[in-house]
Amino acid sequence: MKRILIVGGVAGGASAAARARRLNEEAEIVVFERGEFVSFANCGLPYHIGGDIPGRDALLLQTPQSFKRRFNVDVRIFHEVIEIDKAGKNLLVRNLQNGEVLREPYDALLLSPGATPIRPPFPGIDSPGVHTLRNIPDMDRILAALEQGKPRHVTVVGGGFIGLEMMEALHQRKLEVTLLELSDQVMAPVDKEMANMLHARIREEGVDLRLRTGLSAIESLDVLADTAAVTAERRGGLRLTLSDGTHLDTGLLILAIGVKPETLLAVQAGLELGPRGGIKVDAGMRTSDPFIYAVGDAVEETDFVTGESVLIPLAGPANRQGRIAADNMLGRRETYKKTQGTAICKLFDLAVASTGLNEKRLVQLGLPFEKAYVHPGSHAGYYPGAHPVSLKLLFAPDGKIYGAQAIGKDGVDKRIDVLAVAQRAGLTVFDLQDLELTYAPPFGSAKDVINMAGFVASNHLKGDTTLCHAAEVQARHPHQVVLDVRNTPELDKLGRIPGAMHIPLDELRGRLDELPRDKELLISCQVGLRGHVACRLLSQHGFKVKNLSGGFKTWQMAIAE
Count other C-beta atoms under 10 Å from residue 404's C-beta: 29
Given the residues 345, 468, 525, 535, the one annotated as active site: 525
Q: Which value, to the nearest 10 degrees, does the dihedral of the CA atoms of residues 294, 297, 303, 308 take?
A: -70
State the Cα angle at 47 between 176 and 139, rounded to 5°: 80
**By three-state DSSP, how is residue 415 classified?**
helix
C-alpha to C-alpha distance for 347 and 412, rounded to whole angstroms: 12
- Encoded amino acid at 116, one letter: T
User: Measuring CA to CA, which residue among 537, 447, 449 is closest to residue 485?
Assistant: 537
Spatial separation of the C-alpha atoms in residues 41 and 60, rounded to whole Å: 7
- DSSP string of 19-83, one letter each residue: HHHHH-SS-EEEEEESSS-SEE-GGGHHHHHHTSS--GGGGEEE-HHHHHHHH--EEEETEEEEE
CA distance 217 to 334: 48
Residue 525 appears among annotated catalytic residues: yes
d(CA 395, CA 368): 9
Q: Which are the contacts of 227, defined by CB distance < 8 A and separation ≥ 6?
A: none
Query: Rounded to an integer, what distance in angstroms lies between the CA atom of residue 386 and that of residue 45?
Result: 31
Q: What angle do CA 161, 162, 163 make, to 5 degrees?
A: 95
What separation in angstroms does the CA of 355 have from each of 199, 260, 469, 536? Answer: 20, 21, 21, 32
Return the active site residues.
Answer: 525
